């Protein structure tokens, strides 16, 4: 998070507690979605119920994904036990699994990892499950030079 005056942090936290949207907080303080998310986490302010109930997985995924250089994508929403926490349709989802599903068109098998090596990356093409890792291992044996 970029350095901010404590008064700004307190103001952002107060707006979050009052249920302000990220757009409203950005208009007031000019801060990024990531900064607002960080303040929410630091102050343990729960996500407003309206987000949990009324947004679809695709909407929340889009709202909390920030494109980075080289095609990587960063999750700017909340985390729970190291995983992107995605609230939609009135329930919690694993954001990494939903990003995988959105790109690959199927549910992942086993753990979902960032095959690009960038911790926390949720870019669909960079996510691999057990099926993809196993297929890559087979390809590496058949075509050792092509996949190195």
Binding site for Zn ion (CB under 5 A): 72, 116, 118, 121, 123, 126
Q: With respect to Zn ion, which residue has the nearer C-beta, 105 or 119?
A: 119
Two structure tokens written together for 50: 């309206």
Q: With respect to Zn ion, which residue has the nearer C-beta, 36 or 122?
A: 122
Q: With respect to Zn ion, which residue has the nearer C-beta, 46 or 71?
A: 71
State in angstroms the smallest separation of the CB of 123 from Zn ion.
5
State in angstroms the smallest separation of the CB of 96 from Zn ion.
12
Q: State how far the alpha carbon of 19 is from the alpha carbons of 39, 51, 70, 121, 137, in Å.
A: 14, 10, 35, 28, 48
- The position carrying tokens 């086993």 is 110
State in angstroms the smallest separation of the CB of 117 from Zn ion.
8
Q: How many CA atoms lie within 13 A of 4 on its CB side?
A: 18
Q: With respect to Zn ion, which residue has the nearer C-beta, 45 or 123?
A: 123
The sign one gets for the Cα dihedral 87, 54, 67, 110 is positive
Two structure tokens written together for 120: 């926390």
State in angstroms the smallest separation of the CB of 2 from Zn ion.
23
């Amino acid at each position: 998070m970029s350095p901010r005056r404590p008064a700004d942090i307190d103001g952002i936290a107060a707006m979050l507690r009052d249920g302000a949207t990220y757009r409203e907080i950005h208009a007031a303080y000019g801060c990024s979605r990531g900064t607002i998310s960080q303040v929410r986490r630091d102050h343990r302010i729960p996500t407003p119920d309206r987000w949990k109930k009324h947004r679809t997985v695709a909407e929340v995924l889009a709202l909390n994904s920030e494109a980075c250089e080289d095609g990587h994508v960063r999750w700017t929403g909340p985390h729970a036990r190291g995983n992107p926490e995605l609230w939609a349709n009135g329930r919690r989802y694993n954001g990494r699994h939903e990003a995988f599903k959105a790109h690959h068109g199927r549910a992942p098998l086993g753990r979902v990892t960032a095959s690009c090596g960038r911790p926390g990356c949720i870019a669909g093409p960079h996510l691999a499950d057990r099926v993809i890792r196993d297929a890559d291992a087979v390809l590496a044996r058949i075509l050792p030079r092509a996949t190195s």
